Chains A and B, each alone.
Chain A
């Protein structure tokens, strides 16, 4: 079996969950080789090896943080040259997609983005995508070059699969043209203590019906009782009630959790585009005609300010 490069998304060596999902999917098509750029490879090694990485290629250059995207593309391109992989898998984050895009151009390779599943095929890896606001499911292949595929979070359950995970230094030369965009400053987002929206197993979202920034506490309380992330519809974000980073929908995040709870959200196409692939969908809305009810596994027609707090109390009571 050939090797599959997996780009590691991490914060100082703390590997993010989507990377573990990628390692799991990579094992279906070959032997995973992790590419860890920046600090913390020694910390990440155990996690990566534990999920099937036969090797961990690492490079830690200041350019990765000082300039946008391009130096990481240089590194990945040089990893491809060193390994000759059968595919390159990258998490479907905003940056991940940009890295993959430029890598594809450099390699003269086809690119598939936002895969939700991956399997081995006679003519190379076959990627499943969910398109047109999740109305269709497609299966696609890359037909030229080394397949470059970005995979959405929550596309697979990470499986433990102990492998050697030998750390090897990757020699990286940063190209002259790769230092054109300087990162002048970086302000980390304040942590909410909640799981990342796209990675969360449960998402609780609020929409127009929440009717005010202060009322989002009702949504947050339910989310916290379930250990969930908080989402918001475009209407709620546009009204300034909740940050854009939490927006679920066409122009925000696309989520695919095990459980999605929509409160006070009518379910316009704009919103459905970002949550329709959720495994179980639950909605609370006072309008029985709201289109969100067409999607639900369980729906409650009622006032969210009555139903949601009662649900929160009940969840807390049941969890003890």
Chain B
């Protein structure tokens, strides 16, 4: 039987752009160009490698987001994913992590899966909680933050490099995996891949397709509330000296004055 892989990805504002908040204190998605979160490229890459190793596999790339989020799906399809699912609904605006995990879990169940692959975190919210939430909601093993991953004989194994130790993990499928930026560089889409992606199927789903009520998600349904967002005051200009042989000593004098030495 075919190995069904679902890669959950996020469309994020470009981190090199000037990111802001909108008036309702959600992320302003109009001011800055969006793209497939860089950390999710690693997830797509590992899914492709797992699929290449398997006899028969199918990769579905999944996102929850506005119309423009299709760009992220197209990128993943051009890298080699087989098909895409886009959950799009006006009622989703302002959904927080708990709500997003609910929608993703329902969409993953709707699609059918043996393996869910995620990146380690998004580059905008940077929470890094979605993979664990998905495992919890789906009731399957969590095999996360892997620098190395392998799927064989219905089992997923991988190496998790933590602060204190490096761990070798093992779980039966179905499972949720997340991979780090150490898992291996993501491939660039080829011209052929880009052309092929245009013909691949993108299924659009809304909340009613997933049996989710509008009040379970969105800004009003969120489990958290942002009360204020303030631009960090620019740091006051510091002292800059040019080294003319005494730079290290001058720096030491500054550190001593600041009581660091």
Residues of A within 8 A of B (CB): 11, 68-70, 73, 93-95, 97-102, 104-106, 108-114, 126, 130-145, 177, 180-189, 196, 198, 202, 226, 244-245, 250-251, 258-259, 269-270, 273, 276, 280-282, 284, 288, 293-303, 306-315, 318-319
Q: Is the CB of A282 within 8 A of B251?
A: yes
Cβ-based interface call for B161 (8 A)? yes
Given the known interface contacts A105-B133, A106-B136, A184-B168, the answer about A112 and B224 at a Cβ–Cβ threshold of 8 Å is yes
Q: Is the CB of A301 within 8 A of B132?
A: no
Cβ-based interface call for B137 (8 A)? yes
Return the CB mask of B43-83 against A: 1 if under 8 Å, else 0.
00000000000000000000000000000000000000000
Cβ-based interface call for B208 (8 A)? no
CB neighbours of B38 from chain A (8 A): 251
CB neighbours of A294 from chain B (8 A): 235
- Nearest residue, chain A, Cβ from B125: A131
CB neighbours of A297 from chain B (8 A): 235, 238-239, 254, 258
Q: Is the CB of A97 within 8 A of B128?
A: yes
CB neighbours of B136 from chain A (8 A): 73, 101-102, 105-106
Given the known interface contacts A69-B132, A251-B39, A319-B261, the answer about A188 and B164 at a Cβ–Cβ threshold of 8 Å is yes
**Interface size range on B against A:** 35 or more
Q: Is the CB of B225 within 8 A of A183?
A: no
Cβ-based interface call for B206 (8 A)? no
Q: Is the CB of A134 within 8 A of B232?
A: yes
Q: Which 3 A-B pairs have the closest CB atoms?
A: A310-B248, A302-B243, A110-B223
Cβ-based interface call for B135 (8 A)? yes
CB neighbours of B30 from chain A (8 A): none
Docked CA distance A276–B222 (Å) = 29
Return the CB mask of B213-239 against A: 1 if under 8 Å, else 0.
000000000111111111110010011
Docked CA distance A141–B227 (Å) = 7
Q: Is the CB of A318 within 8 A of B256?
A: yes
Q: Pick from B130, B231, B242: contact of A135, CB below 8 A.
A: B231
Q: What is the distance, in angstroms, from B113's C-beta to the closest C-beta of chain A?
A: 15
Cβ-based interface call for B123 (8 A)? yes
Q: What is the distance, in angstroms, from A255's C-beta to the closest C-beta of chain B?
A: 13
Q: What is the distance, in angstroms, from A242's C-beta to the closest C-beta of chain B?
A: 13
Docked CA distance A142–B167 (Å) = 33
Docked CA distance A295–B236 (Å) = 8
Cβ-based interface call for B2 (8 A)? no
Q: Is the CB of A70 within 8 A of B142?
A: yes
Docked CA distance A318–B164 (Å) = 34
Q: Is the CB of A303 within 8 A of B243?
A: yes
Residues in B165-189 with C-beta less than 8 Å from chain A: 165-172, 175, 180-182
Q: What is the distance, in angstroms, from A21's C-beta to the closest C-beta of chain B?
A: 16
Return the CB mask of B78-115 against A: 1 if under 8 Å, else 0.
00000000000000000011100100000000000000
Q: What is the distance, in angstroms, from B207's C-beta to the closest C-beta of chain A?
A: 19
Given the known interface contacts A111-B224, A306-B248, the answer about A11 and B164 at a Cβ–Cβ threshold of 8 Å is yes
Q: What is the distance, in angstroms, from A115's C-beta to the closest C-beta of chain B?
A: 12
Q: Pick from B127, B128, B171, B232: contact of A136, CB below 8 A.
A: B232
Sampled A-B contacts (24; CB under 8 Å)? A70-B142, A95-B162, A97-B132, A102-B136, A111-B223, A112-B224, A136-B230, A137-B230, A138-B228, A143-B222, A144-B223, A180-B141, A180-B171, A181-B171, A185-B167, A245-B163, A269-B15, A288-B240, A299-B241, A302-B242, A306-B247, A307-B247, A311-B248, A311-B252
